[in-house]
């Protein structure tokens, strides 16, 4: 397993170079399988687990509590304590406040909503403090100062260790950076966005309306923050495009239907044959050695998915292979 450091100072944490996406665990994936997945990931040296306070409310038979509660049960059953090296990230802001509600009823990012959401996550996860907390989505009905101030209070109280931002536009991240710098508040030290080797057309909306894809502005912002001494990590979700790299029954969404996609797939095929790795493993290796470096967030529903992802941490692409992949399309 490879490792990365997120955050700075006393709150800095070493995490595995791949994060385990726990969205389906405890919901569409039963407890026994979920526990086996988490056990295998931890046994392989995995230390970074990602969830949210709304997973997976949209699935029939599931509730927004499922994933966090499952992780809490797993921690308790395995005797995992704070400081044991397992870093849990969760998100708030997109939890429905009404049964059956959708986006119109999300809790949002007001100070009272943030305080209430954190209290619920602490209870479900069974922790004294949240290692990494993300606003899940933007909430433009609330001033950024209010959201950032509420997060700063939680960090000051020791209830939250690190704060990040999920699904935020680059200009909003820059504005947040300026506000936290002037107020001496904790800054967003981890960003979570959608990204993979194949690139979508950004002039066509992704089918998942809440997803915000990495843009060149995001990458430029990250490189600048890091170069200027403000370490900022990038975690990316949907890196394997729901299995579309390897499964014939999974079609790429319309935004990926453009001339660049076949060229990148051809380059991916060449490198996979050279390395003997799967397409998924080449994609994950490409992401981990990206500029800036990226932590892939791999959503899993079987132990085999964990094994494939963990094995990718041992794959090092050559300079020639990276150039081939980078230049394609």
> What is the distance between the alpha carbons of residues 255 and 247, in angstroms, rounded to a whole number?
18
Pair type for strands 294-299 and 87-92: unpaired
* 55 part of the active site: yes
Pair type for strands 13-16 and 3-6: antiparallel
Judge residue 163's burial from the number of C-beta atoms within 10 Å of its C-beta, 0-12 exposed, 13-18 middle, 19 or more buried.
buried
> What is the distance between the alpha carbons of residues 264 and 70, in angstroms, rounded to a whole number?
38
Active-site option among 55, 197, 245, 256: 55
State both tokens at 212: 């915000």
CB of 279 within 8 A of CB of 268? yes
Dihedral, CA of residue 98, residue 102, residue 105 and residue 107, to nearest 10: 100
Backbone angles phi, psi at 236, to 5 degrees: -120, 135
> What is the distance between the alpha carbons of residues 315 and 276, in angstroms, rounded to a whole number?
10
> What is the distance between the alpha carbons of residues 138 and 64, in angstroms, rounded to a whole number?
19
Active site residues: 55
């Amino acid at each position: 397993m490879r490792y990365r450091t997120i955050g700075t100072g006393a709150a800095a944490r070493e995490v595995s170079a791949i994060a385990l996406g726990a969205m389906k665990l405890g919901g569409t994936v039963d407890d026994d399988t979920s526990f086996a997945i988490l056990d295998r990931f931890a046994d392989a040296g995995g230390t970074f687990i990602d969830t949210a306070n709304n997973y997976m409310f949209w699935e029939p038979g599931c509730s927004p509590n499922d994933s966090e509660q499952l992780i809490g049960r797993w921690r308790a059953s395995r005797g995992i304590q704070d400081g044991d090296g397992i870093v849990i990230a969760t998100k708030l802001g997109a939890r429905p406040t009404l049964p059956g509600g959708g986006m119109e009823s999300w809790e949002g990012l007001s100070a009272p909503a943030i305080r209430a959401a954190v209290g619920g996550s602490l209870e479900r996860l069974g922790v004294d403090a949240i290692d990494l907390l993300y606003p899940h989505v933007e909430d433009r009905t609330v001033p950024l100062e209010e959201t950032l101030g509420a997060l700063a209070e939680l960090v000051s109280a020791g209830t939250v260790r690190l704060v990040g931002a999920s699904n935020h536009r680059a200009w909003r991240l820059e504005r947040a950076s300026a506000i936290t710098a002037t107020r001496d508040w904790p800054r967003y030290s981890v960003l979570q966005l959608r990204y993979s080797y194949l690139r979508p057309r950004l002039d066509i909306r992704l089918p998942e309306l809440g997803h915000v894809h990495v843009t060149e502005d995001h990458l430029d912002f990250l490189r600048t923050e890091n170069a200027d001494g403000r370490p900022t990590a990038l975690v990316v979700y949907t890196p394997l495009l729901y299995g579309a790299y390897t499964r014939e029954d999974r079609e790429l969404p319309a935004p990926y239907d453009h001339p660049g996609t076949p060229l990148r797939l051809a380059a991916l095929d060449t490198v996979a044959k050279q390395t003997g790795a799967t397409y998924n493993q080449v994609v994950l290796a490409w992401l981990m050695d990206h500029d800036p470096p990226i932590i892939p967030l791999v959503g899993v529903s079987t132990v085999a998915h964990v094994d494939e992802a963990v094995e990718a941490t041992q794959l090092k692409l050559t300079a020639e292979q990276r150039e081939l992949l980078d230049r394609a399309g």
